[in-house]
C-alpha cells in the first residue's frame, strides 16, 4: 500500500500495485471516501470518520449524534459538514488506509483530534493489543471495475457501528479490524496472482498488521517481503524515488 496523488486526481494510500520488469499497474485499491476539510482531516480523525460514515450511511450520518465523531462536532457545524460532503466542496476523495485507520479510531472513541502524525492509528493498534475477546466483522467486499479490484470496507464499517452500539468493546473491534485488513491483503494477492508480495507504506509501521499480513500470506503460499533497514513510511520515499528514477517503469493502463 502506498500514498500519493494518482492520475485520477484522488489521494491514494490504500493501493495494491502489480509490478514486473518494465511496467506497473494499480491492481486494486480501497474504496474511496471524502475528507471534509481536506488536509485538516489529517489532524482531526473525526473528519475522516465522518467521510467514511457518509460513504456508508449517506446524509443521515449527520443525525447520528450517538456516534463519537459526530458528537465531536458542534450542532451548528454539522449541517455545514453535510453540505461539504454532499457537494464535494473542500472534501477531496481518498483511498488512504491511514485515513481509514483514523476514521476507525474516531468511531471507536479512541481519538477525535490528533496531536501528532499517526496518533489515531497507533491508538487503534494499542487498543487491539488490549483485546480479550474477538468480535467478528464481515470481510471486505471485492468488485472488478475496469480491470482493477475495488476493496470495499463499507459493510465492515457498518457492522462495526452496529456492534459498537450493541456494547462491543472498542478493543475487540480494533483487533477485528486488523484481522479483516490482513485478510484483505491475502485476498488481493490471490486475485492478482503474483507470488511475491511487498508490504510497504506507513500502515506497516503497525506491528500487529504487519505480522498478521506476513503470517497469513505465508500460510496462503505467498512470499512476503517487508522493510528492515529503510522505514516503510515517508522516511523511505527518497530512496524509492531514486531507485525509480534509475529504472523508471511504464504505467500499464487497465
pLDDT digits (tens, 9 = 90+) for 224-246: 999 999 988 888 888 888 888 88
pLDDT at 253: 67
Helices 77-87 and 45-57, axial angle in degrees (round to 10):
60
Residue 157: name the closest of 56, 62, 253 by CA.
56
Residue 61: which CATH number? 3.30.420.40
User: 102, exposed or middle or buried, with CB in 10 Å at 0-12, 13-18, 19+?
Assistant: buried
Average pLDDT over residues 23-50: 96
Per residue in 149-193, pLDDT (tens digit) is 999 999 999 999 999 999 999 999 999 999 999 999 999 999 999
Q: Is the pLDDT of residue 22 over 90?
A: no
How far apart CA 218 and CA 252 sit, in angstroms, is: 28
pTM over 0.75: yes
Q: Domain range spanning residue 48?
A: 4-251
pLDDT at 145: 85
Domain count, the chain: 1
- Per-residue CA distances from 90 to 13, 69, 87 (Å): 19, 19, 9
Q: Which residue in the block uniquely carries the three cell numbers 488506509?
A: 97
Amino acid at each position: 500500500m502506498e500514498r500519493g496523488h494518482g492520475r485520477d486526481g484522488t489521494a491514494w494510500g490504500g493501493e495494491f500495485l502489480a509490478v514486473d520488469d518494465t511496467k506497473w499497474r494499480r491492481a486494486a485499491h480501497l474504496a474511496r471516501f471524502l475528507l471534509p476539510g481536506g488536509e485538516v482531516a489529517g489532524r482531526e480523525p473525526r473528519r475522516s470518520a465522518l467521510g467514511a460514515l457518509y460513504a456508508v450511511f449517506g446524509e443521515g450520518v449527520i443525525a447520528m449524534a450517538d456516534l463519537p465523531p459526530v458528537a465531536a462536532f458542534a450542532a451548528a457545524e454539522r449541517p455545514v459538514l453535510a453540505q461539504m460532503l454532499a457537494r464535494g466542496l473542500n472534501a477531496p476523495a481518498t483511498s488512504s488506509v491511514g485515513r481509514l485507520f483514523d476514521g476507525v479510531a474516531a468511531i471507536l472513541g479512541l481519538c477525535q483530534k490528533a496531536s501528532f502524525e499517526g496518533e489515531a492509528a497507533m491508538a487503534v493498534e494499542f487498543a487491539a493489543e488490549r483485546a480479550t475477546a474477538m468480535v467478528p466483522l464481515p470481510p471486505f467486499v471485492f468488485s472488478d471495475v475496469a480491470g482493477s479490484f475495488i476493496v470495499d470496507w463499507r459493510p465492515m464499517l457498518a457492522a462495526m457501528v452496529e456492534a459498537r452500539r450493541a456494547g462491543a468493546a472498542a478493543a475487540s473491534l480494533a483487533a477485528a479490524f486488523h484481522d479483516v485488513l490482513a485478510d484483505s491483503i491475502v485476498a488481493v494477492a490471490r486475485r492478482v496472482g503474483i507470488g511475491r508480495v511487498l508490504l510497504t507504506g506507513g500502515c506497516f509501521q503497525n506491528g500487529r498488521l504487519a505480522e498478521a499480513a506476513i503470517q497469513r500470506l505465508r500460510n496462503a503460499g505467498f512470499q512476503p517481503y517487508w522493510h528492515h533497514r529503510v522505514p516503510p513510511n515517508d522516511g523511505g520515499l527518497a530512496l524509492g524515488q531514486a531507485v525509480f528514477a534509475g529504472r523508471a517503469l511504464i504505467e500499464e493502463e487497465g
